[in-house]
Every structure is written in structure tokens, then in C-alpha cells.
Structure 1
Amino acid sequence: MALDPTLLSIIACPQDKGPLLLVGDELLYNPRLRRAYPIEDGIPVLLVDEARDATDAQHEDYLARGVDSSSQ
């Protein structure tokens, strides 16, 4: 399920308030903090406590596959 483009244009990281990368339909990623926020059933879970830290390999993968959510 794709996220609504309007939602993507205004969504931001709850921790540093910066833009996020959309990685597939699976997560939103903050490359500055290396934190990944899951998307469950088409709904972004933007809770700091639910974010996962990215390994170096995941970071590179997310950057390669990610699309700036504010440009959607």
C-alpha cells in the first residue's frame, strides 16, 4: 500500500524534525541519525521508541533505495 503523497510531503522525523527518506513501502529513514521508522499496514509509525538503529550496511542500502519523502 503506497503512502499518500500529501502525507509524504509534510512528514518529518519526530526526533530531529528533519526530512525522511522513503525506502520502498517498508520504512522511513533518517540518514542523519541512522534511524529507521517502520511502516505498518500503510501507516508510518513515527515514534522515537519504535525506531530501529541502522547498521552500516543497512545505512548504505537505505541511501541507495531511498527517495526524499518531501519530494513525493
Structure 2
Amino acid sequence: MATRAEGMNPVMRDRLVCPQDLGELINAGDELYNPRLRVAYAIDDKGIPNMLIDNARSVSDEEHERFTAKEA
């Protein structure tokens, strides 16, 4: 089964950046992840990402390692 990030329109997904540092986001399953700031943005069940800075969640060291290992 595809994750919410994988189910997003690829054109939209490629154009999304972190609203805090304007950098690239990586696929983190049902979230988009900024490894530089260690924050994740949720994607709702309709495939719409919540890119509000105040709604981003902090990511633990363990999650960071898991998310970035996929990209390596």
C-alpha cells in the first residue's frame, strides 16, 4: 500500500518546500520531513499536506535516523 506522500501528485510533491527554511522535504510515509530542522508535516487522508509551521511536529533522533536512512 502506498503511503500518503507517495500518493501525492508528483508535480505538487516536487514543488513543496519547508515553509521554515525553504529547503527540500523527504518522504516520511504519511508525512513530509525536513531533516535539517528535524520537523515533520502531516499529510491528511485526502493527500493534502499541512504545511503550517505551528503544526509541524518535532522528530526524535530515532525517527530522524529512520527517515534519513531511506534517502541514503
Q: Where on the TM-score scale, by shorter chain, does this alignment land: which range? A: 0.7 to 0.9
Offset of residue 61 of structure 1: 1.0
Superposition RMSD in Å: 1.5
Between Structure 1 and Structure 2, the one with more strand by share is 1
The aligned runs of 1:23-42 (5 Å cut-off) are 23-24=28-29, 26-41=30-45, 42=47
| 1:5 alignment partner in structure 2 | 10
Structure number with higher relative contact order (C-alpha < 8 Å, ≥ 6 residues apart): 1
Instruction: Show structure 2 runs of 5+ residues with no match.
Output: none
Deviating above 4 A after TM superposition, structure 1's stretches of 4 or more consecutive aligned residues are: none
Q: Secondary structure at the match of 1:43?
A: coil
